[in-house]
Amino acid sequence: MCGIFGVYGHKDAAALTQLGLYALQHRGQESAGIVAVDDSGTARVSRAMGLVSEGFDDEEMTDLIGPISIGHTRYSTAGSSVIENAQPILARVRGGHIALAHNGNLTNAVELRRDLENQGAIFSSTMDSEVIVHRIARAQGATPEARVANALVGVEGAYCLLVVLDETVIAARDPHGWRPLVMGRLGDGYVFASESCALDIVGAAIEREIQPGEVVAVDRHGFRASQGLRPAPLNRCVFEHVYFARPDSHIFGGSVDRSRRALGRRLAVECPAPGADLVFAVPDSSNSAALGYAEQSGVPYELALIRNHYVGRTFIQPTQSGRDAKVKVKYNPVRELLEGKKVVMVDDSIVRGTTTRGLVSLVRAAGAKEVHMRVSSAPIISSCYYGIDTPRREELIAARMSHDELVRHLGVDSLGYLSIDGMLSAMPDGPGGYCHACFSGRYPTAIPSEPELLRAGG
């Protein structure tokens, strides 16, 4: 759960990166950072805890000069919420530098780190991403991109990377393609971003996605692309389309808004609510799915729940106490719409159930006669090890309770989840090539042997 952004060949590279990070703020709100490299090859870094808007004052931005820049917004779990774990990482090596921004989680980081420590490597953070920096520092290669590709041999799990090796920008995506990474052009320059919405904000033309296993490089010798990593089965994260990415982005070959509407339409077919007076979303990530549900069912769509935009996302707040307190601060129902009505409440997912339970009680207190909960994804029953910070299995409510228990616990009149097949059929290019492990429990790769040591990724 991180956002990465990078620029090559624009005089205001760091300022563009800051703008790009604004557009990727939803991917991580805990820290933000920018590295810039000037014309003489000097790299500078600025990192701060908190939001992009809080992280960089004018003085810091003035220092971040040069035509090359990469940036990162980060979310992490409790315990690793420290500035040492903010990215990009900047390391000085062999008279040059390596800067790295990583989105994803490595599944064998613990083993790789132990090997490196046994060889004398010293780590300054608890991030799995630092392992990659050490490997790049040690790797050989005829070109900068070959060096990065060689460093990635044996690295398992999910990664989209932006690396600056001296004055070369390199973008790489793991062979399974878990996380999105897109590339655009801005004048003579190149722009890279986790999602296309970040290219829009800087006015870059979207060129294409970085392909799974691809390593691309751009420097004064020009742009080079190669299938640098050994091909592997596609495991793109279905949850990016369900919840995580912005609806104005195109990822994995299609529009997130379109896939969410398709999820909502399919949900209306699989889980109708006969006689409902209105359908509304748990804003904002469920808006498109609720619209799809309304389109398909013919039930009127209403804005019956209002979100306060000045409070962060419930799901990605690091502590449970913060999460509880924020439900009421974050949402308020529109009584005039709900009073005496049989309503369909659409959400994209239920994780711990705390927010849903709080919302149902808010909606009932506002006078709703019946509350029918509809979820535009399947029940989440397993943890993610590939870069989305779902909690441990014991905390996942659908893993702990039967359907009837969930109905009682959430306080709803009925509860309907989309099937896994229904969810996959709504993806832009059909159901193949997606990871659905958190919904099915079927992990496409070996899972980490010591997952508790792994929860500090980018």
Q: Is 69 helix (H, G, I), strand (E, B) or coil?
A: strand
Residues of span 222-241 touching ligand SF4 by CB under 6 A: 237-239
Residue closer to ligand SF4, measured from CB, 8 or 178:
178
Residues in the chain: 458
178 near ligand SF4, rule: CB under 6 A: yes
Tell me which of 386, 426, 433, 445 binds ligand SF4, using CB under 6 A: 386
CA distance 92 to 98: 6
Phi, psi of 214 (to 5 degrees): -85, 145
438 is catalytic: no
**Is there a contact between 294 and 279 (Cβ–Cβ < 8 Å)?**
yes
Q: Which stretch binds ligand SF4 (CB under 6 A): 3-11, 270-278, 341-349, 430-438?
A: 430-438
Q: Please report how close the Cβ of residue 449 comes to ligand SF4 at its closest, in angstroms.
A: 17
436 near ligand SF4, rule: CB under 6 A: yes
Residue closer to ligand SF4, measured from CB, 239 or 280:
239
**Is there a contact between 190 and 168 (Cβ–Cβ < 8 Å)?**
no
Q: Please report how close the Cβ of residue 251 comes to ligand SF4 at its closest, in angstroms.
A: 12
Count of beta carbons in the 10 Å neighbourhood of residue 41: 13
Residue closer to ligand SF4, measured from CB, 22 or 443:
443
**Is there a contact between 289 and 348 (Cβ–Cβ < 8 Å)?**
yes
Tell me which of 375, 384, 406, 454 binds ligand SF4, using CB under 6 A: 384
438 near ligand SF4, rule: CB under 6 A: yes
Rounded alpha-carbon distances, angstroms, from residue 235 to 83, 452, 456:
31, 23, 21
388 near ligand SF4, rule: CB under 6 A: yes
Closest CB to ligand SF4: residue number: 384
Q: Looking at beta carbons, which pairs linking 314-317 to residues 24 or more positions away fall under 8 Å?
A: 314/355, 315/243, 315/351, 315/355, 316/1, 316/28, 316/29, 316/75, 316/389
Q: Please report how close the Cβ of residue 387 comes to ligand SF4 at its closest, in angstroms.
A: 6
CA distance 202 to 181: 16
Q: Which stretch binds ligand SF4 (CB under 6 A): 168-176, 184-192, 338-346, 384-392?
A: 384-392
Tell me which of 199, 437, 454, 456 binds ligand SF4, using CB under 6 A: 437
CA distance 433 to 209: 16
Binding site for ligand SF4 (CB under 6 A): 178, 237-239, 384, 386, 388, 435-438
Name the residues annotated as catalytic: 2
